[in-house]
């Protein structure tokens, strides 16, 4: 798993109670995180965006703290490491006087908790996948803000020809960007799952994507002009390609690398420059529209390089295909 740098951090300040040494060892060190080593009552009354890491056998030690924070609606997740076996975990919850909360995750490895934590640090908890499971002809998904989705597999057309024994043969991308079935080479992200459950979301996502594409192109043009470059000054891209990108056409990771190089910047610094250019525009475009503001926040983040690996989108029943899925924030399912 990759370490989180300050440049990756777009999200809020987080408070983490790591009750045991094993949990403390996996928590990333970041100025964005306030790390607590004990469940102090004062912290329970004041802390915001709280994550509790504990073993099942130590649930009793964090029960009052977790309940107090949850009562203030600030408990984002209770991560319980199963150190006794699944048969005994419910008994330890009962012994601690805790009910299994909606935001409880019982785990045997740190992969899922760290994926959730990274998503929150990036401010992308509503866009990334924490975990998933296929059972009884359905795909069950938990997002990194711990919302649960229940999708009939029949709505994912690209999975219809996959043998039942291979349906659980998928991986969650390291940062939660998508699920990947290597057999049919299918990539399915959270937006595609939402659209499959509610096709009307597809129209709103396409509209938001079109708005974002136009703003992104304008930002690329603005940064180029401020650098004193013309559309013919980008090695590796023709003037026609640059013109199309600046009008809102699909921009690939390779094209972004060429643009960054021509500006004398690393790709990360160039994307940060574009994000700064987008921010005031996003505020004007979404004023008084909470849903548009949420879409714009996701759109203003740099295109996810993991998503750019998938070249085209699979068909979902009720969702129309659209070009430019690779580097857009509202990508759908993808399949080669």
Rounded to an integer, what distance in angstroms lies between the CA atom of residue 87 and that of residue 173? 29
CB 167 within 8 A of CB 153: yes
CB 234 within 8 A of CB 259: yes
Rounded to an integer, what distance in angstroms lies between the CA atom of residue 30 and that of residue 28? 6
Rounded to an integer, what distance in angstroms lies between the CA atom of residue 206 and that of residue 323? 10
Closest alpha carbon to 205 in 308, 327, 331: 331
Q: What is the mean pLDDT of each run of 10 residues along the chain (336 residues)?
A: 47 89 87 90 90 94 94 94 92 90 89 93 91 94 95 88 88 92 89 87 74 87 94 92 89 88 90 82 46 45 36 35 30 38
pLDDT at 280: 57
Domains of the chain with CATH codes: 6-121 (3.40.50), 177-336 (1.10.260.40)
φ/ψ bin of 327: left (φ > 0), alpha (ψ from -120 to 50), beta (otherwise) = alpha
Closest alpha carbon to 1 in 92, 113, 78, 93: 113
Rounded to an integer, what distance in angstroms lies between the CA atom of residue 133 and that of residue 148? 11
- Please indicate, yes or no, whether the overall pTM of this predicted structure exceeds 0.95: no
Buried b vs exposed e over 50-73: b needs ≥16 C-beta within 10 Å? bbbbbbbbbbeebbebbbbbbeee
Closest alpha carbon to 18 in 6, 85, 43, 97: 43
Beta strand ranges found along 2-137 (DSSP E) = 14-18, 33-36, 50-55, 75-81, 104-107, 129-135
Between helix 290-300 and helix 200-226 the angle, nearest 10°, is: 50
């Amino acid at each position: 798993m990759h370490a989180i740098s300050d440049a990756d951090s777009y999200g809020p300040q987080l408070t983490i109670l790591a009750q045991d040494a094993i949990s403390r060892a996996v928590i990333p060190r970041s100025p964005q995180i306030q790390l607590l080593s004990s469940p102090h009552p004062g912290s329970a009354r004041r802390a915001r965006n709280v994550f509790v890491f504990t073993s099942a056998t130590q649930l009793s030690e964090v029960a009052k703290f977790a309940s107090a924070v949850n009562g203030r609606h600030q408990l984002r997740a209770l991560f319980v490491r199963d150190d006794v076996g699944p048969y005994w975990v419910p008994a330890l919850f009962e012994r601690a006087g805790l009910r299994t909360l909606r935001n409880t995750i019982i785990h045997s490895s740190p992969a899922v908790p760290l994926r959730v934590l990274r998503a929150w640090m990036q401010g992308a908890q509503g866009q990334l996948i924490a975990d998933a499971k296929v059972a009884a002809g359905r795909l069950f998904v938990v997002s990194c803000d711990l919302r649960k989705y229940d999708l009939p597999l029949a709505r994912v057309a690209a999975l219809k020809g996959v043998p039942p024994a291979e349906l659980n043969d998928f991986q969650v991308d390291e940062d939660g960007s998508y699920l990947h079935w290597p057999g049919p080479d299918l990539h399915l992200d959270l937006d595609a799952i939402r659209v499959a459950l509610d096709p009307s979301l597809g129209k709103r996502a396409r509209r938001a994507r079109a708005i974002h594409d136009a703003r992104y192109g304008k930002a690329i043009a603005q940064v180029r002009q401020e650098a004193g470059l013309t559309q013919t000054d980008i090695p590796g891209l023709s003037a026609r390609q640059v013109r199309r990108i600046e009008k809102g056409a699909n921009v690939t990771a390779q094209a972004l690398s060429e643009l960054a190089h021509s500006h004398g910047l690393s790709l990360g610094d160039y994307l940060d420059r574009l994000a700064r250019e987008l921010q005031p525009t996003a505020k004007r475009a979404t004023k008084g529209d909470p849903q548009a503001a949420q879409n714009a926040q996701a759109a203003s983040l740099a295109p996810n390089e993991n998503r750019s690996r998938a070249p085209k989108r699979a068909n979902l029943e009720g969702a129309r295909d659209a070009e430019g899925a690779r580097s857009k924030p509202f990508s759908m399912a993808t399949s080669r």
